[in-house]
Amino acid sequence: MIRVLFFARLREQLGVAELELSTADAGATVDELRQHLQAKGGQWAQALGADNLLCALNQQQARGGELITAGDEVAFYPPVTGG
C-alpha cells in the first residue's frame, strides 16, 4: 500500500486528507500517481493539475520521475510562503 497525503488548500479542495492505494493502482512514479488521481476528474483534475503543486516522497521533496514502492508515503501540497 501507498499512503497519499494532501495538505492545506489542496486538502480542502479535494475534501480528503489522505488515501491508501495499492502500488498497482498508483503507478510506478510520482507523475503516474498524480495522473492516476487527476483521472478521477472534477476537483481532482483541477487541484492536481496546478503547475506549481509540490510533492514529497517519504518526507523528502520529490520530482515527478521518482519511483514509488510499497510502503511509501507521497504527499502533495501547494507552495508555502512565510513572512
Q: Which CATH number fits domain 2-77: 3.40.50.1220, 3.30.450.20, 3.20.20.10, 3.10.20.30?
A: 3.10.20.30
- Give the phi and the psi of residue 28 in degrees, each rounded to 5: -85, -25
Domain boundaries defined on the chain: 2-77
- Encode pLDDT of 20-66 as tens digits: 998 877 778 999 999 999 999 999 999 999 999 999 999 999 999 99
Specify which residues 67 forms β-bridges with: 29
Full-model pTM: 0.91
pLDDT tens by residue, 53-82: 999 999 999 999 999 999 999 999 998 766
Q: From 13, 17, 18, select the one nearest 50 (Cα to Cα).
A: 13
Please name every residue paired with 21 in a beta bridge, in sequence order, or none if there are none: 2
Query: Which 3 state secondary structure label does DSSP give 18?
Result: strand
**Where is 35: in which H helix or E strand?**
helix 30-38
